[in-house]
Structure 1
Amino acid sequence: MTEPYSCDIMRCDTLVRRLLPQMRAEMVYRLVNERGISQSEVSKRLGISRAAISQYMSRKRGFNREDFPGDLETVIERWVSAVASGEGTITICDVCRSADPVGRE
């Protein structure tokens, strides 16, 4: 890590349970609508069912009207790029650091 970060498993667990479904829904939506990748291909790349992709696209799964906290828009865009290109990764720590400025020292 380039900056000190106070990692707390309970805080990270709470953030991830609350944010990851919404982030995944947004990422799937962007892959299909902005990157033009088919729903079947997104399903294969993410290792999730085609039905789950359909639910993300119809906003039946993971949809939340709240804005993303912190710098999560940037993390989502990095995730979209990583899945679209097959290069790069996003970690749970990336999500926590971006979503929870309280955890930063």
Structure 2
Amino acid sequence: MLYDTSANGNTNPSREYATLAPLFKGGFFYHRNTTPGPIGIGAEPKSEGKACSHSYIGMFSFGNSRIETAKKNGNIQKVAFVDYENTGILAGFIYHQFCTIVKGSN
């Protein structure tokens, strides 16, 4: 089985974080970035739900950053839009946080 490792096969919601691009954009010691995600249909952004996962020194990770978890945390039934937030210390090697933010309505 062959795996596509090109930029076209990148399925990371924050696509630049699946490449070396953050190393060259600045913010090596600390960075925080929000990336817009998919847009829902027929909902107003009245509520917000957030779900995060964390990683320390690339060896220990925990959390749940699924869209469904963010919807549950915000009591959201209809999704208006989804954003992704990345926070990293020392290019994300020491600490990296990935959050999914869902806005919508009940």
TM-score, normalised via structure 1 length? 0.26
Which structure has the larger Rg?
2
Report the TM-score, using the length of structure 2 for normalisation: 0.26
Answer 1 or 2: higher relative contact order, Cα 8 Å, separation at least 6: 1
